Amino acid sequence: MSLHVLPVPGLPEIDADSDLAELIAKAGTFEDGDILLVTSKIVSKAEGRLLHAADREAAIDAETVRVVARRGPARIVENRNGLVMAAAGVDASNTAPGTVLLLPEDPDASARALRARLQQLTGLRLAVIVTDTFGRPWRNGLTDVAIGAAGLAVLEDHRGRTDTHGNELALTVTATADELAAAGDLVKGKATGTPVAVVRGLAGLVTTEDGDGVRPLIRAAADDMFRLGTSEALRQAVTLRRTIRSFTAEPVDPAAVRRAVAAAVTAPAPHHTTPWRFVLLESAEVRTRLLDAMLAAWQRDLAELDGWDAAKIARRTARGNVLRDAPYLVVPCLVTEGSHAYPDARRAAAEREMFTVAIGAAVENLLVTLTGEGYGSAWVSSTMFCRDTVRTVLDLPDDWDPMGAVAVGRPAEPPRERPARTADAFIAVR
Confidence of residue 303 (pLDDT cuts 50, 70, 90): confident
Sequence ranges of the domains in the chain? 4-49+103-223, 240-426
Q: Residue 342 and residue 324: Cα distance in Å, rounded?
A: 40
Predicted confidence at residue 190, as pLDDT, reads 65
Helices (H), 147-253: 176-188, 230-240
- Cα–Cα distance list, 402 to 273, 322, 405 (Å): 18, 18, 8
Strand partners for 278: 332
Predicted confidence at residue 130, as pLDDT, reads 98
CATH topology (fold) of 240-426: NADH Oxidase (3.40.109)
Per-residue pLDDT tens over the stretch 237-269: 777 788 899 999 999 999 999 999 999 999 999
Predicted confidence at residue 207, as pLDDT, reads 97
- 87 dihedral zone (left: phi>0; alpha: psi -120 to 50; beta): left
In degrees, rounded to 5, the angle at the alpha carbon of residue 228 between the alpha carbons of residues 222 and 233 is: 105
Number of Cβ atoms within 10 Å of the Cβ of 81: 21
Q: Residue 402 and residue 63: Cα distance in Å, rounded?
A: 51
Alpha-carbon torsion, ordered 299, 304, 307, 310, to 10 deg: 30
CATH of 4-49+103-223, picked from 1.25.50.10, 3.20.20.220, 3.40.50.300, 3.30.1330.100, is: 3.30.1330.100
Q: Residue 354 and residue 350: Cα distance in Å, rounded?
A: 6
Query: Cβ(77)–Cβ(60) under 8 Å?
Result: yes
Predicted confidence at residue 21, as pLDDT, reads 97
**Of 410, 403, 117, nearest to 256 (Cα)?**
410
State the pairing for strand pair 99-101/127-136. Answer: unpaired
Alpha-carbon torsion, ordered 278, 284, 287, 293, to 10 deg: -160
Q: Residue 416 and residue 10: Cα distance in Å, rounded?
A: 58
Average pLDDT score, the chain: 91
Predicted confidence at residue 310, as pLDDT, reads 86
Would the pLDDT of 311 be above 90?
no
Confidence of residue 208 (pLDDT cuts 50, 70, 90): very high
Per-residue pLDDT tens over the stretch 144-154: 999 999 999 99
Number of Cβ atoms within 10 Å of the Cβ of 232: 16
**Of 290, 280, 245, 281, nearest to 411 (Cα)?**
245
Q: Which residues contact 147 (CB under 8 A, 6 or more apart)?
A: 40, 81, 83, 89, 103, 104, 107, 130, 131, 132, 214
Predicted confidence at residue 191, as pLDDT, reads 57
Confidence of residue 298 (pLDDT cuts 50, 70, 90): confident
Per-residue pLDDT tens over the stretch 73-85: 888 999 999 999 9
Q: Please state, for a pLDDT cut of 70, what percent of the chain lies above it.
A: 99
Predicted confidence at residue 363, as pLDDT, reads 96
Would the pLDDT of 92 be above 70?
yes
> Tell me, what amino acid is at 73?
P
Q: Please state, for a pLDDT cut of 90, what percent of the chain lies above it.
A: 69
